[in-house]
């Protein structure tokens, strides 16, 4: 399994500065192109593998993977940062997008250009508390994740085939989430969108209508339903009235001509029942 996040080995600053600048989270696009136009370099991290000798100047970041890759700091300007990563991240390639958190010494891989299944988690908040949830909801203000999603969408390579949005419950951001969908459509008109949602916010007809107004030609909401018995569904998601609200959400979406994928995840192991409505 690919390791998508963790600690970096070390962060160094060219010019002998002893302290790594404390920055917030930074998104960078990985580049292996030494001839990348100057205007794009500041937002990019140049990836140095073992054997690479040419170190172009002007990149916002430099990454070296594995102990064998050694950047000659003499080639860099004094403020530039070099982040060393373990071999676990040797799969990274040109066009991938990562988040670097220099204050915490952490990396998170957010987008892989070669993957057909990139999904952006926009929040850890959710109004369910499902029995089997792998990342139980947190009541925290994590709206920075949605800001980061917007930033990611702006720098994501054109031609991405499919993009998913998940949580938590992405629709909890309401209009702000719809704005993210509009942005995705504007910048990546050919990209299919899949939204994993519990569907409850769509019970609000106004919200469902605004969603439909985006008029995306290839956008679908995936909604899990755990049972046709309302009490069982509500028990699984630990939320009274959830079944009714989810069903009203689905009916609204269908009334407005939207694509909905209904999932019943708790079926015999290894299989997955899906109906596209
Ligand atoms: S709806 Fe999804 S994120 Fe929310 S509690 Fe259930 S499994 Fe977790």
Pair 130, 168 in one domain: yes
Kindly state if the Cβ of 133 falls inside 6 Å of ligand 1: yes
Q: State the distance from the centre of ligand 1 to the C-alpha of 193, rounded, in angstroms.
A: 19
Report the domain count for the chain.
Answer: 2
Find the mean pLDDT for residues 202-223. Answer: 98
Residue 253 pLDDT grade (very low, low, confident, very high; cuts 50, 70, 90): very high
Pair 54, 190 in one domain: no
pLDDT of residue 252: 98
Higher pLDDT, 272 or 47: 47
Q: What is the overall mean pLDDT for the chain?
A: 88
pLDDT tens per residue, range 150-184: 999 999 999 999 999 999 999 999 999 999 999 99
Residue nearest to atom 2 of ligand 1 (CA): 168
Kindly state if the Cβ of 129 falls inside 6 Å of ligand 1: yes
Pair 129, 94 in one domain: no
Find the mean pLDDT for residues 262-273. Answer: 57
Residue 4 pLDDT grade (very low, low, confident, very high; cuts 50, 70, 90): very high
Percentage of the chain exceeding pLDDT 70: 87
Q: Is the pTM of this model over 0.75?
A: yes
Kindly state if the Cβ of 233 falls inside 6 Å of ligand 1: no
Kindly state if the Cβ of 225 falls inside 6 Å of ligand 1: no
pLDDT of residue 65: 87
Burial state string for 192-230 with b = 16 or more CB within 10 A and e = fewer than 16 = bbbbbbbbbbbbbeebbeebbeeebeebbbbbbbbeeee
Cα–Cα distance for residue pair 63/45, rounded to 1 Å: 6
Tokens representing 3? 């390791």
pLDDT tens per residue, range 36-71: 999 999 889 999 877 777 788 888 888 988 766 566
Pair 189, 250 in one domain: yes
Tokens representing 189? 């008109």
Tokens representing 174? 């309401």
Pair 193, 130 in one domain: yes
pLDDT of residue 16: 59
Kindly state if the Cβ of 169 falls inside 6 Å of ligand 1: yes
Kindly state if the Cβ of 231 falls inside 6 Å of ligand 1: no
Given phi > 0 = left and psi -120 to 50 = alpha, else beta, which region is 44?
beta
- In the predicted structure, residue 105 carries a pLDDT above the cut 70: yes
**What are the phi and psi torsion angles at 193 (to 5°)?**
-120, 135
H helices of the chain, in order, are 38-41, 144-155, 175-187, 205-213, 230-237, 242-255
Tokens representing 148? 């980061």
Domain extent for 43:
5-110
- In the predicted structure, residue 93 carries a pLDDT above the cut 50: yes
Pair 149, 260 in one domain: yes
pLDDT of residue 103: 83
Measured in Å, how far apart are the chain's first and last C-alpha atoms? 33
Which of 80-94, 100-114, 235-249: highest mean pLDDT? 235-249
Which CATH number does the domain housing residue 21 bear? 3.50.30
**What are the phi and psi torsion angles at 240 (to 5°)?**
-70, 135
Pair 106, 122 in one domain: no
Which CATH number does the domain housing residue 257 bear? 3.20.20.70
Pair 51, 183 in one domain: no
Percentage of the chain exceeding pLDDT 90: 68
Pair 131, 29 in one domain: no
Cα–Cα distance for residue pair 121/191, rounded to 1 Å: 17
**What value does the CA radius of gyration of the chain take, rounded to a whole number of Å?**
22
Find the helix or strand (DSSP H, E) in which 224 lies. Answer: strand 219-224
Measured N-to-C along each axis, helices 175-187 and 144-155 cross at an angle, to the nearest 10 degrees, of 10
Cα–Cα distance for residue pair 214/208, rounded to 1 Å: 10
Name the domain boundary from 56, 88, 110. 110
Pair 150, 246 in one domain: yes
Kindly compute the dihedral angle of the four CA atoms of residues 116, 104, 26, 65, in this order, to the nearest 10 degrees.
Answer: -60
- In the predicted structure, residue 268 carries a pLDDT above the cut 80: no
Name the domain boundary from 51, 76, 110. 110
Kindly state if the Cβ of 153 falls inside 6 Å of ligand 1: no
Q: Of 29, 36, 11, which Cα lies nearest the Cα of 21?
A: 11
Name the domain boundary from 85, 110, 135. 110
Mutate to test the pocket of ligand 1, among 121, 127, 136, 169 (most ligand atoms within 8 A of CB): 169
Residue 272 pLDDT grade (very low, low, confident, very high; cuts 50, 70, 90): very low
Cα–Cα distance for residue pair 62/83, rounded to 1 Å: 6
Residue nearest to atom 6 of ligand 1 (CA): 130
Pair 144, 91 in one domain: no
Kindly state if the Cβ of 172 falls inside 6 Å of ligand 1: no
Q: Residue count of the chain, please give it.
A: 277
Q: State the distance from the centre of ligand 1 to the C-alpha of 147, rounded, in angstroms.
A: 21
**Position of tokens 């009916």?**
251
Atom of ligand 1 nearest to the CA of 136: 8
Q: State the distance from the centre of ligand 1 to the C-alpha of 243, rounded, in angstroms.
A: 14
Pair 150, 257 in one domain: yes
């Amino acid at each position: 399994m690919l390791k998508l996040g963790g600690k970096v080995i070390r962060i160094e600053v060219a010019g002998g500065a002893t302290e790594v600048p404390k920055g917030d989270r930074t998104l960078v696009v990985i580049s292996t192109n030494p001839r990348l136009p100057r205007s794009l370099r500041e937002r990019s991290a140049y990836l140095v593998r073992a054997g690479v000798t040419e170190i172009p100047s002007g990149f916002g970041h430099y990454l070296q993977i594995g102990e064998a890759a050694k950047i000659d700091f003499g080639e860099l300007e004094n403020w530039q940062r070099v982040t060393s990563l373990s071999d676990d991240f040797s799969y990274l390639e040109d066009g991938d997008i990562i988040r670097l958190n220099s204050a915490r010494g952490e990396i998170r891989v957010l987008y892989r250009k070669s993957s057909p299944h990139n999904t952006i988690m926009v929040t850890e908040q959710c109004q369910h508390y499902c029995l089997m949830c792998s990342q139980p909801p947190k009541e925290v203000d994590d709206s920075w994740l949605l800001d980061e999603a917007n930033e990611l969408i702006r720098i994501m390579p054109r031609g991405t085939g499919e993009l998913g949005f998940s949580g938590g419950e992405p629709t909890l951001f309401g209009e702000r989430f719809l704005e993210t969908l509009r942005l995705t459509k504007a910048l990546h008109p050919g990209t299919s969108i899949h939204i994993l949602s519990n569907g409850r916010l769509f019970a609000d007809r106004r919200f469902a209508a605004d969603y439909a107004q985006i008029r995306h030609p290839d956008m679908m909401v995936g909604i899990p339903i755990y049972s046709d018995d309302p009490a069982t569904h509500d028990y699984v998601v630990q939320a009274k009235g959830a079944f009714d609200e989810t069903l009203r959400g689905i009916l609204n979406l269908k009334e407005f001509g939207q694509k909905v994928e209904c999932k019943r995840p708790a079926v015999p192991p290894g299989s997955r029942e899906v109906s596209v409505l």
